[in-house]
Amino acid sequence: MTALHSGHVVRPASGSADLLRRRYSVLGPNTPMFYADDPLQIVSASGVRVTGPDGRIYLDAYNNVPHVGHCHPAVVDAVTRQLSTVNVHSRYLTDAPIAYAEALLALFPESLDRMFFTNSGSEANDLALRMARFQTRSSGILISDHSYHGNTQALAALTTGLPVSEPLGEHVRTFTAPDARDSKFSLADALAQIDSAIAELEQSGHGLSAVLFDPLFSTEGLPDLPEGYIEGLCARVRTAGGVVICDEVQSGFGRTAQHMWGFQSADFLPDMVVLGKPMGNGFPLGAVVTSAGIIEPFSADNTYFNTFATTPAAASAGHAVLKVMNSEGLLERARAVSAEFERGFRELVDGDDRLTGVRGTGMFLGMQFVDAATGAPDGPTAKVIVDAMRRNGVLIGRIGRYDEVLKIRPPLAFGVEDVPIALDAFAQSLRHIRR
Ligand SMILES: Cc1ncc(COP(=O)(O)O)c(C=O)c1O
């Protein structure tokens, strides 16, 4: 065991100890790291597997950024070729960003026909809120009370799902995403909460600019949203003059295994869609997709320029992702994989009084741990399982208000043949907590 800084005692694999010490001395001890008491070093990756310095291979059931698979040769090749041909910013005319934007916009409903590229989900959410404010001439924002949408100052003022020192902005009001599994839940109460948040924003003079939400409510822990909730939420926002911003950073690009976009699975039409994480398969890339009616007036009054977004190399990465999704039939594969996953997990957890069943949709599944006697959320047990899964060779994570929900969100390239490996590891891991 090595004490690296006061308060930080870690037990890393011996080959990683020096790297960890060096990380602390250049990045500081507080940068977030998974498996904090025994951080995992990764030296290479391919497909849905990553390799540690000791040669151990882990199955990746967590990472959504390497969407079509870690280091996919088609993405590597497209970016490499573009980098060695030309890579300039968007104030020159180049083909790749236009061809990619055309291909991407073709995947959206007709009303969503314009876009801005960004380098990250945070930039995209920040820009979407800025455009919403411009469009509505109001500043009020509605946000769920356990959510994360990015790291800019504007987003820190509405971050409710991670520790931030910024107070909630005076122009921000929160709502709780309802869960139909909760016996105390009522759709009428959930929508009344939206009505009173909007009324407060109007009374305070902020008015309503936008609601911003992830259609899976993934940070919130994948609640089972009652029928009619999103419809009611969007209707109320629009009646009050606000716009609906759908954050597809988690739910986009086929994550639900039903449709390309989460809003299609949830059956509503947003005014703006924010993209990120899987978009470039690890090459930094994000976007706001919206309508000409929103983007054109904004652009006329605001020169929005972004040096690294819209480069041919970034566009090549994004375009290669779409092409691989198509050529490898990843959306169809995700349907088969998620059905196997769900069936296998249900077999393992149904009837177990420490778990509340399997939640989520498609390739984003969760399992909530509770105290069997009291029903209270049980984050520590979820942590035991995440750590045991890693020891058993499979990477997963945790979400939820109490970090009590296992987060299973593999690259879309995950194969049906990988599912039994993950399920076996889970069955073994559960033995750690069986009475
Ligand atoms: C739903 C959601 N939106 C936005 C972001 C921010 O994206 P980025 O880290 O690319 O800035 C995240 C990141 O975790 C996210 O989960």
Contacts of 114 (CB under 8 A, 6+ apart): 105, 289, 290, 291, 292, 294, 295, 296
**Calpha distance 431→381 (Å, rounded):** 12
Cα 251 to middle of ligand 1, angstroms: 11
The structure tokens 């994360």 sit at 148
Low-confidence ranges of the chain (pLDDT < 70): 1-15, 434-435
Q: Is the CB of 275 under 6 A from ligand 1?
A: no
Q: Is the CB of 215 under 6 A from ligand 1?
A: no
Q: Which of 253, 220, 217, 263 is nearest to 334 (CA)?
A: 253
Q: What pLDDT, on a 0 to 100 scale, did the predictor assign at position 37?
A: 87
**Calpha distance 341→423 (Å, rounded):** 8
DSSP-derived secondary structure letter, 226: P
Nearest ligand 1 atom, CA 218: 1
Cα 317 to middle of ligand 1, angstroms: 19
**Calpha distance 234→267 (Å, rounded):** 11
Q: Is the CB of 122 under 6 A from ligand 1?
A: yes
Q: What pLDDT, on a 0 to 100 scale, did the predictor assign at position 10?
A: 46
Contacts of 6 (CB under 8 A, 6+ apart): none
Query: What ranges do the domains of the chain cover?
Result: 1-33, 42-68+329-430, 73-327
Cα 249 to middle of ligand 1, angstroms: 6
Cα 85 to middle of ligand 1, angstroms: 31
Q: Is the CB of 94 under 6 A from ligand 1?
A: no
**Calpha distance 40→131 (Å, rounded):** 40
Q: How many residues does the chain have?
A: 435
Q: Is the CB of 214 under 6 A from ligand 1?
A: yes
With residue 369 as reference, give the H or E element that holds it. strand 364-369
**What is the dotted CATH code of the domain comprising 73-327?**
3.40.640.10
Q: What pLDDT, on a 0 to 100 scale, did the predictor assign at position 435?
A: 59
Atom 2 of ligand 1, nearest CA residue: 149
Q: What pLDDT, on a 0 to 100 scale, did the predictor assign at position 147?
A: 98
**Calpha distance 218→176 (Å, rounded):** 13
- Three-state SS at 5: strand
Atom 3 of ligand 1, nearest CA residue: 149
Best residue among 34, 149, 261 to mutate for probing ligand 1's pocket (most ligand atoms within 8 Å of CB) is: 149
Best residue among 118, 220, 277 to mutate for probing ligand 1's pocket (most ligand atoms within 8 Å of CB) is: 277
Q: What pLDDT, on a 0 to 100 scale, did the predictor assign at position 279?
A: 98
CATH architecture of 42-68+329-430: Alpha-Beta Complex (3.90)
Nearest ligand 1 atom, CA 123: 11
Confirm if 397 and 407 have CB atoms less than 8 A apart: yes
Contacts of 233 (CB under 8 A, 6+ apart): 175, 191, 194, 211, 213
Cα 62 to middle of ligand 1, angstroms: 15
Looking at the whole model, is its pTM more than 0.75?
yes
Q: What pLDDT, on a 0 to 100 scale, did the predictor assign at position 143?
A: 98
Q: Is the CB of 368 under 6 A from ligand 1?
A: no
Q: What pLDDT, on a 0 to 100 scale, did the predictor assign at position 30?
A: 92
Nearest ligand 1 atom, CA 214: 1
42-68+329-430 shares its CATH topology with 73-327: no
Q: Is the CB of 249 under 6 A from ligand 1?
A: yes
Cα 364 to middle of ligand 1, angstroms: 15
Q: Is the CB of 209 under 6 A from ligand 1?
A: no
